Amino acid sequence: MADEPRNDPLSRSVEREAERIRRAERERPSLLAQTAYLGSLALMFILPVLAGGYLGRWIDDQLAGYSVIWTVSLLLLGVAIGIVNVYLFLRERP
């Protein structure tokens, strides 16, 4: 009688949860995959910031006198673009 499968709702629920946990363990991303994912996120954020900083610095160097207006402005624009990039990438992830 102990080997006989039980058909009550609790047993079925426990079996479904156990199968879900086993499937999650099998499909868990590896350390390399997680590292690549975080690297992609970092590049999506850092590249616009760096581009804004370099472009702003170049524009400020072309103008007469000491000024950092373009550098700061384009750095902030790069941060905003980086945040939007990361948000859109995370939103599309299944």
Give tens-digit pLDDT for 20-74. 888 878 877 788 888 988 999 999 999 999 999 999 999 999 988 878 899 999 9
Question: Considering the entire predicted model, what is its pTM?
Answer: 0.68
Task: Tell whether 12 is covered by a domain.
Answer: no
Mean pLDDT of the 77-84 span: 97
pLDDT for 66 equals 79
Residue 13 lies in a domain: no
Distance from C-alpha of 22 to C-alpha of 4, rounded to nearest angstrom: 23
* pLDDT tens profile 6-23: 678 888 888 899 888 888
Q: Is the pLDDT of residue 93 over 80?
A: no
Domain count along the chain: 1
Residue 77's domain spans which residues? Answer: 30-92
Specify if 2 maps to a domain: no
- Predicted pLDDT of residue 1: 47
The answer to whether position 34 is within a domain reads yes
In a domain, 36, yes or no: yes
State how far the alpha carbon of 58 is from the alpha carbons of 24, 53, 78, in Å.
50, 9, 15
